[in-house]
Structure 1
Amino acid sequence: MHTFGSRRDIDGLRALAVIPVVLFHFGISPFSGGFVGVDVFFVISGFLITGILYREINAGRFSFVDFWARRARRILPALSVVLLATLALGWLLFTDKDFSELGRTVRYQSLFISNILFMREDGYFQPASELKPLLHTWSLAVEEQYYVFFPLLMVLLVRHVRHWRWMLLALLFVSFGLNILCIERKPDFVFFSLPSRAWELLCGAMLAVLPVSRAPKPWVRQATAIAGLIAVLFAVFTFDRTTAFPGWAAVVPVLGAAALIWSGAQGTTWVGRLLSVRTLVWTGLLSYSLYLWHWPVYVYANAISSDGIQPLEAAGWILLSLGIAWLSWRFVELPFREKQLLGGSKSVLVAGLIAIGAFALLGSLVRSADGFPQRMTGKELAFAKARTWRAGQLDCMYVSSDKTLDRACLIGEKPDVIPRLMVWGDSHSAALMPALKIASGEVGQPVWLYSMSGCPPILSDDPRQRCRDFNDRTMQQVRRLGIKDVLLASNWTLYVYGREDGDKKVLLNQHDDQAQAEARMERALRARVVQIREAGAQVWLFKEVPQQQKGSVSRLTSLERIGRSTSGLGRPAADYLARESFLNKLFDSMSEADSGVHVIDPYPMMCEGGICHVEIDGQSQYKDDGHLSDAGGARLSPLFIPMLRSRAEN
């Protein structure tokens, strides 16, 4: 199968890859699995580049210098412009923390190892990833890592191993096996790493080196092309953020892309004609620049949008991305690819190495300067600082990496007062620390704070051993310390419904439907309350702080820097109340049934005029979309005074 000439159907296939990626990133709901376009790109790249390698090795004219010069000519010019533009916009719009992170990403991407950085951070589908304008470069890093090693392997195999194709196939299955074995335990490693993604590129490579055989019957060719198109579209429209990916699911788009490439190489097909229409071919030619530009456009557009990118706005931003992509292709990509600039292999390699070094230094400078906080003044600086806890919350919160459970804090300790109050919960209880400090100081009652990230204070069969251990130990402390009042605080809805972006990994049981999940939470919470009451303590149930819409908190600084008002930014109260409906009724019913169970509701203090505000009186109330900031936590101190006074009077 040695058909490597210009193929319009492959240009169209590039369009079929990039369009779903762009629409998925801009939140166009039918394209919930648009991220599989990257997998299609991997197959195309494996096919085309391996074809070039194979031809040149067989002809005895392969040169590593020429090969890497071609890669530099193809990848670096447009990428360099994107990196510069991204840094410039980050300087204008980002907080010091986010700009510092961007500098680190630029440094990693300059060496084509950004996938390793992202592997260690929040997952690809998490809300925090939408503050990373270079997140999409992980796929470039995977490809370039592959093409550092693959030419060496091909030269050795083709020249020195008789049955070298079988060895390539074996490597493919080893990589695929790693992907399957680790998808559950290390999903971020599988998503971002070369070893677990190489099989997709190798699928394309195998197509390029298949021995020439007799052409298949026309109906076989047509059926294969149709099946391939259906497979890719099936993945695009049915996969979503909750799909365990790549895993077994990636087989669908990868084999679909391989089927389209194979059938097109055998002769004309109906699908091939469809992919060869002028609009798709044109889009395919722009696909690299469009892929590079669309995600930074999305991130920065989102940063300056007061209520998130709406569908009509998304259409405008997509058209802008397309326009910038055309300019990038016409005035950056083409001059280098057609050797109008830096025509020699050595000159382009030298220029590429200089660019790599320059971006590595520039990224390091931004990182070492902590994102240049001196860029910001006034409210924008205050909003930026609110993104970091400074009141000791992290000192009083266990995290999964802790080896011991000795991080509990006693707030407002007084030598002559025995502490009989405890706040117990997940990281949302730790966020209440500023309020507890103020209230404790005013009333003169010390408070214990026991919190562990990601662990609700309930009595359940939580599959996470760390949560069971933490909650068991905390309950023992309630008894041992003679605690008389226990306040339970948590991001309650998270464990019932999952994240609002569709991530269900934090559920108590990922197989429950909504009714089962609600029933499970009710049983677990009631059981904990009964246990605490039997230990002789009263229970105070703290209703959930309003969660903000994705990206709202991070927009405060960006909006302030461009002079847009932030006063109306926030989540509609009706949305918040709808999500909280079941838990609010549960809390109220438990309080009505037992005089020793009380409810504290932050809603009246945080929501007014139908909006749960992100900013109140010029201060950000949130550290991120869910956790209170120092100021936001402190503002709620009046809510805890009745609880503390009730203990002081007893």
Structure 2
Amino acid sequence: MLDFKYRSDVDGLRAVAVVLVLLFHAELGFTGGYIGVDVFFVISGFLITGLIVKQQRAGKFSLANFWSRRIRRILPASVFVVICTLVAGWFLLFPSDYRDLAQSALSQQLMLSNVYFWRNTGYFVGDAELKPLLHTWSLAVEEQFYLFYPFVLVLLRRASDRTLVTLLGLATLVSLLVSQWGVLYHPGATFFLLPTRAWELSLGGLLCFTPPSQLRSRTLAILNVAGLLAICVAAWFFDSTTPFPGFHALLPCLGTAACIYTNAAKLTWCGKLLSARPIVMLGLMSYSLYLWHWPLLAYARYALDGNLPAGVAMTALVVSLLLAYLSWRFVEQPFRKNQFGFANRSLVLGIGGCSMAVVVLAAVVVSSNGFQDRVSEKTLAYRRAKKSIAFVQQVKTADIQRGGVPTFGSDSGKSKCLVWGDSHAMALVPAINAACEQSNIKGFQATYSATAPLLDFVYPTAAGLNDASPVFNDAVVRFAVEQQVDIVILAGVWSQYAENADFESALRNTIKRLRANDIQVAVVLDVVSHDADITLTLAHRASRSQDTANVGASDDAYQSKNRECNDVIFKVAEGEAFVIEPRNALTNRDSFWPAQVDDVVLYRDGYHLSIEGALRLTPMFVTLFASIQKDIVAVNMYD
């Protein structure tokens, strides 16, 4: 078993991890910098296992003392940061967002923020970057691990090292395999939840039972460098489209394990570098730095309508570093070392009382709906459009295969339509639903975010089905044939999918297969993408009594992004499919795409239509269905 002692190089490794996370979150490089969290997990598993086993063998371990130390180590700084974040939210956030912040704060104090963010958002998608406490998901994973893991070691305290390593190794392997399965079929849950992350912590735990190395110093130094390179390679080459954690997480985790192991007996030259005083100091502050950086970045983005210029990001990181030092010096250290002179029990109870105060404060904010009286009704209405969502359905392949897809429109309709596409297709369903009700048509919905409605086509994204897309899309076509659907409506963010060289052939083959089964096809062109979160821009302008009529995008901006993919769509659809162009209903006489008309917001973010915006397209779909019912084939609805 490795000798358990203070390791300055491990603090240096923490510094590497937190820097990678910060640069990634600030969009200043390292698109895979999120793997810094995985480095933290391995380190935590190593340190916690070593601490518990060492105390057990000395006959000094108790669960009460262990949890007391964890409480003093984790809660004071996190409670302080959450309180500051809630106070700042009063001044910076609109009521609906303030309520959401309070809900996340409540979950964080209950050690469930990973579950909260899994259920309510994603890590790489949507408006996640505007959530000030999103980063606390990783704290919840560790806290949950600290709750159950000591029980395992207590139950196995009389077991031999061989038995303990065998059982811990099996648990690690099972968690890893489940994680790999999960990234393919349940990526959101896999990213956030403990069962698919536990292997990273237990991998660190297994390190404690490795025998001292008999390798030569030169060999250890090479392995140490290889470990650091593995971490840096993952941080540099991974991105939001990398299926993660799963097997991909092995690279940074094994790299971390190599760094820890190779410096166990004697520091290599790389270990000495990690042990340099400035790096170690950064590692000592890494917890506070991790806590502070994300709320500052999230609030900066929020104030700038979702944008984060590099200068602002760097300023936020500098401020984070200053706050981290103050937090480490005056919050972390005093509570961790009990510099107050209180009895340990009293100190823990006091920390628990502060945590409960946060729970009460958060509950008050939630119950008051974020204190809506702070802003005008017009401002509320603009930001409320963020919630203008209907028919958002992440339909699973298994549901399609068994015929259990969501329906809309007229249940008694003899004609049938199927909406197939990504979240942009979901945003159109309110209009298609209204047209179906008017035209007595039954609608089916087969949609999944960031997944192109194209056969044998894969476009890697953070939120999509990725490699599982072909099976999903083939199931959609089979469903359409079995249900004798009259028309399939394809919609998606075509400009992104068109980046793939196979886009044109995939679209052609998709339309061809549907038409071969006597199913008509309509392709809906995409809407404009704005440079910012529209609801935030409008709400900020309204709160400052500024004009909102000129908020939107020019048609030139739309054309520069969509002209090429639209040309491909028109070419492929000619004589084979309908083409519907939303721009005819969403632009004004000046060819401008307004964000709102008569204070009605047309978009719920920068690129998805709101319900009200979608309903402006209803007449187009009514016309489409009328053409279908008159057996008018291959009509091009482009003006």
Deviation, structure 1 residue 524: 1.5
Deviation, structure 1 residue 394: 3.3
1:70 corresponds in structure 2 to 69
CA distance in 2, matches of 1:341, 1:7: 27
1:621 is matched with which residue: 602, 605, 610? 602
User: Contact 2:542–2:548 at 8 Å: present in 1 too?
Assistant: yes
Map 1:225-264 onto structure 2 (within 5 A).
225-264=224-263
Deviation, structure 1 residue 495: 8.1
Map 1:137-156 onto structure 2 (within 5 A).
137-156=136-155
Cα–Cα, structure 1 residues 598 and 238, in superposed 2: closer, same or farther, change >3 Å?
closer
Deviation, structure 1 residue 75: 0.5
CA distance in 2, matches of 1:438, 1:207: 60
How big is each residue's C-alpha offset from its partner over 1:349-390, in whole Å with a ceiling of 9 and x where there is no partner? Answer: 212332343333444444444444444323311112212338
Matched, 1:454 2:447: yes
User: Contact 1:496–1:521 at 8 Å: present in 2 too?
Assistant: no
User: Contact 1:127–1:550 at 8 Å: present in 2 too?
Assistant: no
Map 1:13-162 onto structure 2 (within 5 A).
13-29=13-29, 31-161=30-160
Cα–Cα, structure 1 residues 354 and 641, in superposed 2: closer, same or farther, change >3 Å?
same
Cα–Cα, structure 1 residues 112 and 265, in superposed 2: closer, same or farther, change >3 Å?
same
Equivalent AA in structure 2 for residue 206 of structure 1: L
Map 1:375-524 onto structure 2 (within 5 A).
375-389=374-388, 393-394=390-391, 399-400=395-396, 404=404, 407-410=407-410, 424-426=419-421, 428=424, 431-432=427-428, 446=439, 448=441, 450=443, 452=445, 454=447, 460=455, 462-464=470-472, 467-468=476-477, 471-472=480-481, 476-478=484-486, 488=489, 490-493=491-494, 496=497, 514-524=500-510
Equivalent AA in structure 1 for residue 377 of structure 2: G
1:394 partner SS: coil
User: Contact 1:2–1:209 at 8 Å: present in 2 too?
Assistant: yes
How big is each residue's C-alpha offset from its partner over 1:223-277, in whole Å with a ceiling of 9 and x where there is no partner? Answer: 1211111111111111111222121121111111111112222213211122123
1:310 corresponds in structure 2 to 309
User: Contact 2:305–2:533 at 8 Å: present in 1 too?
Assistant: no
How big is each residue's C-alpha offset from its partner over 1:389-413, in whole Å with a ceiling of 9 and x where there is no partner? Answer: 38xx539x795579745733149x9
CA distance in 1, matches of 2:419, 2:106: 41
TM-score under structure 1 length normalisation: 0.81
2:636 corresponds in structure 1 to none
User: Contact 1:602–1:639 at 8 Å: present in 2 too?
Assistant: no
Equivalent AA in structure 2 for residue 493 of structure 1: W
Cα–Cα, structure 1 residues 405 and 142, in superposed 2: closer, same or farther, change >3 Å?
closer
Cα–Cα, structure 1 residues 32 and 488, in superposed 2: closer, same or farther, change >3 Å?
same
Cα–Cα, structure 1 residues 32 and 345, in superposed 2: closer, same or farther, change >3 Å?
same
Cα–Cα, structure 1 residues 477 and 73, in superposed 2: closer, same or farther, change >3 Å?
same
2:529 corresponds in structure 1 to 547
Equivalent AA in structure 2 for residue 394 of structure 1: F
CA distance in 1, matches of 2:441, 2:229: 59
CA distance in 2, matches of 1:52, 1:438: 63
1:585 corresponds in structure 2 to 567
Cα–Cα, structure 1 residues 571 and 346, in superposed 2: closer, same or farther, change >3 Å?
farther
1:508 corresponds in structure 2 to none
Deviation, structure 1 residue 304: 1.0
Deviation, structure 1 residue 290: 1.0
CA distance in 2, matches of 1:318, 1:608: 45
1:630 is matched with which residue: 611, 620, 633? 611
Deviation, structure 1 residue 297: 1.5
2:637 corresponds in structure 1 to none
Equivalent AA in structure 2 for residue 544 of structure 1: D
1:196 corresponds in structure 2 to 196
Cα–Cα, structure 1 residues 520 and 59, in superposed 2: closer, same or farther, change >3 Å?
same
CA distance in 2, matches of 1:437, 1:168: 53
Equivalent AA in structure 2 for residue 490 of structure 1: A
Equivalent AA in structure 2 for residue 8 of structure 1: S
Equivalent AA in structure 1 for residue 293 of structure 2: H
Equivalent AA in structure 1 for residue 256 of structure 2: A
Cα–Cα, structure 1 residues 559 and 80, in superposed 2: closer, same or farther, change >3 Å?
farther
Cα–Cα, structure 1 residues 555 and 348, in superposed 2: closer, same or farther, change >3 Å?
farther
2:12 corresponds in structure 1 to 12
1:452 partner SS: strand
Cα–Cα, structure 1 residues 467 and 150, in superposed 2: closer, same or farther, change >3 Å?
same
Equivalent AA in structure 1 for residue 348 of structure 2: L
Deviation, structure 1 residue 645: 9.1
CA distance in 2, matches of 1:21, 1:435: 41
Cα–Cα, structure 1 residues 123 and 637, in superposed 2: closer, same or farther, change >3 Å?
closer
User: Contact 1:176–1:199 at 8 Å: present in 2 too?
Assistant: yes
1:463 partner SS: helix
CA distance in 2, matches of 1:597, 1:84: 55
CA distance in 1, matches of 2:175, 2:628: 61
2:179 corresponds in structure 1 to 179
User: Contact 1:431–1:629 at 8 Å: present in 2 too?
Assistant: yes
1:450 partner SS: strand
Deviation, structure 1 residue 55: 2.4
Kindly tell me the number of residue pairs found equivalent between the two proteins: 609
Deviation, structure 1 residue 307: 6.1
CA distance in 1, matches of 2:515, 2:565: 14
Equivalent AA in structure 2 for residue 452 of structure 1: Q
Q: Percent identity?
A: 34
User: Contact 2:417–2:444 at 8 Å: present in 1 too?
Assistant: no
1:28 partner SS: coil
How big is each residue's C-alpha offset from its partner over 1:309-365, in whole Å with a ceiling of 9 and x where there is no partner? Answer: 122222112212222222221222122123123643212221233234333344444
1:408 partner SS: strand
How big is each residue's C-alpha offset from its partner over 1:98-152, in whole Å with a ceiling of 9 and x where there is no partner? Answer: 3333333222221212222333344322233223222211211111111122223
User: Contact 2:530–2:552 at 8 Å: present in 1 too?
Assistant: yes
CA distance in 2, matches of 1:641, 1:170: 59
2:465 corresponds in structure 1 to none
Map 1:244-393 onto structure 2 (within 5 A).
244-306=243-305, 308-341=307-340, 343-389=342-388, 393=390
CA distance in 2, matches of 1:644, 1:153: 62
CA distance in 2, matches of 1:145, 1:648: 58
Matched, 1:600 2:581: yes
Equivalent AA in structure 1 for residue 607 of structure 2: G
CA distance in 2, matches of 1:487, 1:602: 21
2:443 partner SS: strand
Deviates more, 1:104-113 or 1:234-243: 104-113
Equivalent AA in structure 1 for residue 387 of structure 2: T
1:207 corresponds in structure 2 to 207
User: Contact 1:387–1:623 at 8 Å: present in 2 too?
Assistant: yes
Matched, 1:557 2:531: no
1:510 corresponds in structure 2 to none
User: Contact 2:176–2:196 at 8 Å: present in 1 too?
Assistant: yes
Deviation, structure 1 residue 7: 3.0
CA distance in 2, matches of 1:95, 1:404: 39
CA distance in 2, matches of 1:408, 1:359: 43
CA distance in 1, matches of 2:128, 2:238: 19
CA distance in 2, matches of 1:180, 1:437: 38
2:467 corresponds in structure 1 to none
Equivalent AA in structure 2 for residue 472 of structure 1: V
TM-score under structure 2 length normalisation: 0.82
| Structure 1: unaligned runs, 5 residues or longer | 479-485, 498-512
User: Contact 2:586–2:594 at 8 Å: present in 1 too?
Assistant: no
Equivalent AA in structure 2 for residue 496 of structure 1: Y
